[in-house]
Amino acid sequence: MTSKEKTGDAQREPLTPSEERVADFAQRDPLRFATITAAEIAAQTMTSDATVARTARKLGHAGIREWKRLCADSVDRAIGLDSNLRTQLSRLPERDEEGGQAIAIKRILSTSARSLVDLGDHLDTETFAEAVRAISEAGTATTFGLGTGFLAAEYLSLSLERTGIRSRATTGSGHMLADVFPRLQHEDVSVIVAPRLLTTDVLWHLEESLKRCHATVLISSAAPRRDVAEHLLHLSLPSEDDASMNRMICTFALIDVLAYELARLVPARAVERSAEVQKIRDRVNRLRKK
C-alpha cells in the first residue's frame, strides 16, 4: 500500500528523509515489508523502530500492524490465483473465435515449453550439484510445502524414497509448525518447496531449517533475503511473466531432474529400491487376481 493510496500528498504530514526510506521500502517490496518485524524494517532502511511507527502514523495508518496488513492485501491482489487466471485468459483467444481452441492449446503448451527451456538455461548448475550432494549424504531429507507446494513436496519425498533416500513430506502453518520443527535433525537436509512466493510460515520454516539442519534447499521463483540466501541452496525457478503460470510444471520437472541425478550418483542403491517397490507391486497384482 503506497502513501498515495492511503492518503493524498496534500493531506499528509511531510515525511523526513528517513521516513521516506521506510515508505519507499513498503512500496518497493510490500511482501517483504509485510512479513518481517518492525526492527527488521528499521535495519533494512537504516532507521529505527520509532521512525517506522512514526511513518505509519503520518501515512494515516492506525499502526505498523495495519500498514503491514494492507501491504499483504496488496500482494494478494497482485499475485492471487484470480489475478493469475485473468492474466492467462487475457492471452488466449475467445471461445467462439474460429480455431480458438486449437490456438489456445498451442499457446498454453508453447508457454509451458518455453518455461522449461528457461529453467534449463538459467538453473545454477553449481548450486544444483551441491543440492544433489547434500541430499545424497543426508540422514533424512525432510520436504516441506504449503498448498500446491505441499503436493510437490510429497512428490519429491516419494521420488527420493524411490532412489533409496529416506525422506518424509511435511506441511503446516502457525501452531502446527511446533510439531514440524522438532523433527528437523542436524544430519538432515530440509528441502522447502515454495514455487510462487515466500509466505511468513515458509520463511519461518526456512529460518528454523537453517538453524537445525545440515543443509537447506529452497525451490522457488522468489528470492529470499540476502542474509538468508547466503546460507542456503536456492534452486531458482523462472520468474518472468510468461513463466508465471507454469511454475508448478517447472517445479515437478526440477524434482524429476533431482531424482534422476541422485539415482545416477548411486545407481545400485536406486535400482535396489526400485526393484523392492516393483516386487511389492507384483505381489499386490497377484493378490488382486485371486
Instruction: Profile the chain (290 residues) by mean pLDDT over runs of 10 residues.
Output: 44 85 88 83 92 94 88 65 59 65 75 85 93 93 93 95 92 88 92 89 92 95 86 87 69 94 86 84 83
Give which of 217, 196, 205 is closest to 172, Cα–Cα: 205
Distance CA 180, CA 188 (A): 13
Q: Show the DSSP H helices in the chain as ranges.
A: 3-6, 17-28, 30-35, 38-45, 49-58, 64-79, 81-90, 100-122, 125-137, 148-162, 177-180, 200-212, 226-229, 247-265, 267-289
Overall pTM surpassing 0.75 (yes/no)? no
Give pLDDT, residue 95: 61
Give pLDDT, residue 15: 92
Structural domains of the chain, ranges and CATH numbers in brackets: 3-79 (1.10.10.10), 113-285 (3.40.50.10490)
Give which of 206, 158, 152 is closest to 180, Cα–Cα: 206
Q: Which three three-digit cell numbers place residue 60?
A: 494515516
Give pLDDT, residue 7: 43
Distance CA 174, CA 121 (A): 37
Distance CA 220, CA 195 (A): 4
Give pLDDT, residue 84: 59
Give pLDDT, residue 133: 94
The DSSP 8-state label assigned to residue 232 in this structure reads S
Its sign, for the CA torsion 174, 175, 176, 182, is: positive
**Separation in Å, CA 84 to CA 104, 107, 127, 167:** 16, 16, 29, 32
Give pLDDT, residue 35: 77
Q: Is 167 helix (H, G, I), strand (E, B) or coil?
A: strand
Give pLDDT, residue 283: 87
Looking up cell 520463511 gives 203
Number of residues written out for the chain: 290
Question: Which helix H or strand E contains 48, and what residues bound it?
Answer: none
Q: Which residues contact residue 134 at a Cβ distance below 8 angstroms, ignoring those fewer than 6 apart?
A: 189, 214, 215, 217, 233
